[in-house]
Structure 1
Amino acid sequence: MSVTLKDIATYAGVSVSSVSLVLNGKGSQRRISERLTIKILEAAKLLGYQPNMLARNLRKGSTNTIGFVISDISNAFFIKLARFVEFEALKHGYKVFIVGSDENDSRCLDAIDTFLNFQMDGLIIASTQGIEHKIKELSDRKVSMVLIDRYFPKIDTNYVVMNNWQASFDAVDYLIKKGKRRIATFEYNTVFHHMNERMDGYRAALKSNGIRYDKRLVRKVPFINITDEMMADYIKEFVEEQQIDAIYFQTNRSAIPGIKKLFEFGYEVPNRVAVICFDDNEFFEVLNPPITSLIQPIKEIGVECIRILIDDIKNKRVGSKKSKSVYSAGMIERASC
């Protein structure tokens, strides 16, 4: 059973109001003597008193907490992002509580509702595909939030994302400048705007370089649960039937099993098939050859996300313009192209 203010008051032989003032740091303001203050503090320590921080913060109208819903807690990008978000939030006196949704709508909705029930000051959400209605509801309720990595164009809300179109354009254009013409990719079966942007950037780079889009060099795959068998069939088809000379992997989800199959089947990289991937992975550095990758400025994204959210929490302004930050990808050139 938790120790109450009344327990401390009874033990110290003082009033409950005196205990409350001392434990809330207001004893000196109310002329409580140093001797009595020490007596109350010693009693609290001896009894093992633990303050209810949630109740205390609610009384002052803030919990100094942020809820962060991560779509895939096994994804290296989100693991690194969470670390930078948490570190930056601590600088401003906020604690971050992180929940993974595993790209599941129900789990994402449950996490959001749990955070709201705990009166968290703001939310950071890497949304799943089917929760646009919830994001609209949060926006209408003026909940302080920032969407990260993914956003819904029809909803006016804060977000921090990548310029996915330009990143894809640059990746494919890079391959073409290396002399590649038959560049395969995997399109995702998803409603996510950022993935559609990546596909549009792929098409635009081909067109800009006078190469006709060839649907035989594109295979649609699930956004999650890409199987080894599926990837094996597509990689063989691309290389042996379509005679591709490069693959642009739009996520690590396709890149890791895809690269694995390239090596398993003995397709020489980059002489037979050049490879480039959106988003780097430590795994890519140790391969032979190491994989050329687009890189996201993860630290900057995390810092910007917290900046926007805390500004929204502290300076809510009716009708104020939402913050929409878009970052450009860099590239690490390795030996796979």
Structure 2
Amino acid sequence: MPSRITNYEKKKKRNQRIGLIIGILGLVLIIGWVAWSQIKPAAERQDTGQVFRKALQEQDRETFRKLVYLNNQPLKLAETNRLMSWFKADSERLERTISEIESDQRNYPKKTEAARQDIFELKKQDGRFWFDTYVLHLNKQTLEVKTDTEATMIQVDDAPVGQADPDASFKVERFPGEYDVSARVEANGKTGRASETVQLGDQKKSTVSFELAEQVAPDQKEQYGVDIEKLLEAEVKARTGKSVGQMTDYIGQSQSEFEKTFGPPTNRIANRAVYDGFEVAYENQEVESLLIDLNKTASELEAVAGKPESKSTETIGIVWKYPASFFDELLGWLNIKSEKRVIERSGKMWLEIR
């Protein structure tokens, strides 16, 4: 009997030891599993670049919002959607960004100065266990706007941001992303417009240039001064008593008809008749051309009419060459009937009608 009890107790103790060992092993496994389930995410969370990549690949908005900060605050949903779409839209942009994150993390707290772009500033947070945790604070990007026209109004995503001029640098700061930049200017009774889509963040500084001068360039008549038409009419009227149109009508008329109106000249030089304030050239006793004194020096006329495109010397004097449309726009249909030129002679300016 005593021997049988002893065997039973031995068996019982052995079973207890086995149960204890199994319990300990189970507890160790449970503790290990719990620890690993907590340590593994913490370890993965330390690899900030890959967390960023995975959040984009899996459209994990919650992780992205916890990872990326704007103005020291977690992203709002609209900002999250916009930025996630922007990063995924260009694979090269995404790889550059991840490379920047990883480089900054390796060199933390120093910034990677050689980076092509500068989208984020890494900031360390208290991590779990012995692992570090980082968040990404968006850096504002610089947009430089250039224009060839004074007082150009600039808008970014339809919101006015200021006025740009050709001789001054105009800069705008915005967080990374895609923006529609537009320019508008009013001059000479015209409106010039242009727009361009800009990706802020692909470079450390982005530049957009608008060329609006051609859109608002003055008409030919305005370019050379609105007073030139009045000047021509006034001076021709003062010298001849007739308008430019009336004097143009004399081209091709007979010498006798012309002298019937204006009388005999004060002087004759070859085929030219000299009157007080104008001259007439005849060909076969018909009026070939008229030369009318504009009562202006070269500098005075230039101040009103603008600089000519070029000058050429001919027998009659120095011919000021303006664009072909100059007199067309000033005198309209009258110029179809004859050619008109500005002549510099003996320090004075003349209008030739021929």
TM-score (norm 1): 0.25
Which one has the bigger helix percentage?
1
Larger radius of gyration: 2
Which one has the bigger strand percentage?
2
Greater RCO, CA 8 A, separation 6+: 1
TM-score (norm 2): 0.25
